[in-house]
Amino acid sequence: MPEFYGTHVASRLMLGTAQYPSPRVLEDAFRRSGAGIATVSLRREAGGEGAGTAFWEMIRALGLPVLPNTAGCHSVREAVTTAHMARELFDTDWIKLEVIGHADTLQPDPFGLVEAARILTEDGFRVFPYTTEDGVLGGRLLEAGCEVLMPWGAPIGTGRGLNNVYGLRTLRAQFPDVPMVIDAGLGLPSHAAQAMELGFDAVLLNTAVARAGDPAAMAEGFARALEAGRLAREADPMEPRDMAAPSTPVLGLAVLG
């Protein structure tokens, strides 16, 4: 199972907690998926003293490590401030760092991301940066103190899967010993299996599960796909060929005339 900042987690699935039709459905999705980490946006807790208490108690009752995130932050200052508030509220040094640079694609701002990662790392945070498949950016984040990379598969909430397989494969090969999580853009369990086949360590989901007709069933489907993809990776799969190759050898077969 994957390890992040010295902590082993029980599953390769990280599951978000937003957009579910009801708390019961959220709990069922976590139960059936066996997710190893729950991700939570601080903004769900905003709104006044005591706001969000019932939600937070429900998340705590899941008994999972919590990964707060700086969702919706568009500047370094906003992301750093949100991270400090999250650490105080959730009592964890883990933070999923988002610094959004483009309103339509929700693509990370690479310059702000590196700057915020450096500030937070120096402040004692364990940073999980939401990034792209850019290897240069990945290297800068590691230099800033990150020990995990979370490249997107596709823009958040699109369900398009792995848009740039070549780029993701290259990033994985460039930093073979760095834990990596595909974060954002997955829509089907097959996308998660593909991420495992490429050698990634985990995936982070929210919309694909929460917006499904049956979120709990979809969550379980993703969990099973992750295991299938990981087994395939570890089995050393065959290389693709351009020409057909018979699965039954012709040598030694009887010739009927």
92 is annotated as contributing to ligand binding? no
Return the percent helix, strand and coil in the chain, to nearest 5: 40, 15, 45
219 is annotated as contributing to ligand binding? no
Task: Tell me if residue 96 is catalytic.
Answer: yes
Mean pLDDT of 202-226: 96
With 90 as the cut, is the pLDDT of residue 59 above it? no
pLDDT score recorded for residue 50: 53
Tokens of 56: 């937070």
Please give the Cα distance from 158 to 246 (Å, whole number).
Answer: 40
Residue 194 neighbours by CB distance under 10 Å: 22
Mean pLDDT of 219-237: 95
Q: Which of 96, 140, 172, 230 is catalytic?
A: 96
With 90 as the cut, is the pLDDT of residue 2 above it? no
Could you tell me the pLDDT band of residue 248, with boundaries at 50, 70 and 90? confident
* pTM (predicted TM-score): 0.89
Could you tell me the pLDDT band of residue 41, with boundaries at 50, 70 and 90? confident
**Domains of the chain, earliest start first:** 3-235 (3.20.20.70)
Q: What's the Cα-to-Cα distance from 40 to each of 90, 162, 218, rounded to whole Å?
A: 9, 23, 19
Could you tell me the pLDDT band of residue 86, with boundaries at 50, 70 and 90? very high
Encode burial over 197-222: b for 16+ CB neighbours within 10 A, e otherwise.
bbebbbbbbbbbbbebeebbebbbbb
pLDDT score recorded for residue 47: 42
pLDDT digits 0-9 by tens, 148-198:
999 999 999 999 999 999 999 999 999 999 999 999 999 999 999 999 999
163 is annotated as contributing to ligand binding? no
Could you tell me the pLDDT band of residue 58, with boundaries at 50, 70 and 90? confident
pLDDT digits 0-9 by tens, 97-129:
999 999 888 999 999 999 999 999 999 999 999
pLDDT score recorded for residue 103: 87
Could you tell me the pLDDT band of residue 245, with boundaries at 50, 70 and 90? confident
Q: Describe the crossing of helices 110-122 and 76-90 by its angle, rounded to 10 degrees.
A: 40
pLDDT score recorded for residue 89: 87
185 is annotated as contributing to ligand binding? yes
With 70 as the cut, is the pLDDT of residue 74 above it? yes
Tokens of 133: 């498949």
Tokens of 217: 């069933």
pLDDT score recorded for residue 3: 92
Mean pLDDT, the chain, integer: 91
Q: What's the Cα-to-Cα distance from 204 to each of 36, 130, 239, 254, rounded to whole Å?
A: 10, 10, 28, 54
Amino acid of residue 125: F
pLDDT score recorded for residue 97: 97
